[in-house]
Amino acid sequence: MGLPLSKYVWFDGKFVTLDNAKVPITTHAIHYGTSIFEGIRAYWNGKNLHVFRLDEHVKRFRKSGQFYNISLNFSDKEITDAIIAICKKNKIKKSCYIRPFYFVGDYGINLHVTNKAPTSVAIFSFPFGDLFNKNGITAGVVSWRKFSDNSTPPQAKMGGNYLNSIIATQEAKNNGYDEAVLLDHNGNVSEAPGENIFIVRNGQLITPPLSSSALEGITRDAIIKVGRDLDMEVFEREVTRSELTMSDEIFLTGTAAEITPIIAMDGKKIGNGKPGNITKKMMSEYQDIVMFQNEDYSHWLTPVY
């Protein structure tokens, strides 16, 4: 499925048209998944385009490559400026998704990747609305487990890591669900293929810890902060599989998913089968924040124009 990409992309420090952004078939990342990426949202509120938590995304962007000694040969400021500039260059005045990524280039078939390996950086963007139905989706636990620190760093947003997400999504779709939920190697809840997960029980907001191989998600962090600012009890702790269907509410968080309610888990209705009150509150708070309607969190937004 093709993406409605904007005309210009940022490629190794220059603006080029999409048809001129090409790499050779010997690119290392194509063969071994040695690519690092971020997903970033920018929101148009009728007056300006605001990038959500840009600094945090750029910092994680660099850190992901450091796990594998893969160099990002541009400063954080250069990447930040390029993300803003690609929106301006394409004259984007609607909510969009921005994808910066860097990857090991023409490096042969050598598996000994060092910080001397050639890398390239690219940034593209495209208009983007809802990833999932905001009235709620179905989900199911799949048989595949989320990889752990014993094998691959879960905190690195690497292209190769997401094969785990792809096979989990395939199983969930084949089972008739909208989305998958993966367990960690201890059998506790980890996350969804591209999202963190929260449950609500007895008014408490609970999300799996990083030790359950959950990504330290930027939207996850935002919801934890917002929940505590609202004087909610928020806990990062292990969540057993059985707690999913016992929950009063469940929702996913992520850049693409934003806040997405899960209304049925493993074929069982969650709550009354509709988004719960706390989920709806978080959805409303998030929308106000990204649309520049909550001054308390205005520092999370970077204006483009």
Express each pLDDT in 128-178 by its tens digit: 999 999 999 999 999 999 999 999 999 999 999 999 999 999 999 999 999
Is 90 exceeded by the pLDDT of residue 1?
A: no
What mean pLDDT do residues 101-122 have? 96
What residues have CB less than 8 Å from 300, skipping those under 6 apart? 52, 53, 222, 289
State residue 165's pLDDT score.
98
List the structure tokens of 72: 């990002």
What mean pLDDT do residues 222-251 have? 98
State residue 227's pLDDT score.
98
Specify the 3-state DSSP secondary structure of 218.
helix
Q: In this structure, is the dihedral angle defined by the CA atoms of residues 165, 4, 129 and 302, taken in order, positive or negative?
A: positive
State residue 6's pLDDT score.
85
List the structure tokens of 286: 């998030």
State residue 5's pLDDT score.
81
State residue 57's pLDDT score.
98
List the structure tokens of 272: 């009354």
Tell me the C-alpha distance between 73 and 13, whole Å.
10
Mean pLDDT value across the chain:
97
Letter for the amino acid at 27? Answer: T
Tell me the C-alpha distance between 4 and 7, whole Å.
9
* Whole-number Cα distances in Å, 295 to 84, 213, 284, 289: 21, 33, 15, 8
Query: Which candidate in 59, 91, 93, 157 is catalytic?
Result: 157
Quote the percentage of the chain above a pLDDT of 70.
99
What mean pLDDT do residues 279-295 have? 98
Task: Domains for the chain: give ranges and CATH numbers.
Answer: 8-127 (3.30.470.10), 137-290 (3.20.10.10)
At which residue do the structure tokens 């094969």 appear? 163
Cα angle at 125 between 116 and 160, to 5 degrees?
Answer: 45
- Whether this prediction's pTM lies above 0.85 is answered by yes
CB atoms within 10 A of CB 78: 15
pLDDT digits (tens, 9 = 90+) for 28-46: 999 999 999 999 999 999 9
146 is catalytic: no
State residue 258's pLDDT score.
98
List the structure tokens of 203: 């008014």
State residue 61's pLDDT score.
98
State residue 37's pLDDT score.
98
Q: What is the DSSP letter of 263?
A: E
Tell me the C-alpha distance between 62 and 59, whole Å.
5
First-residue to last-residue Cα distance in the chain: 31
What mean pLDDT do residues 238-246 have? 97
State residue 203's pLDDT score.
95
Tell me the C-alpha distance between 195 and 15, whole Å.
31
State residue 188's pLDDT score.
98
What residues have CB less than 8 Å from 53, skipping those under 6 apart? 218, 222, 300
Q: Which of 64, 67, 149 minimizes the C-alpha distance to 113?
A: 67
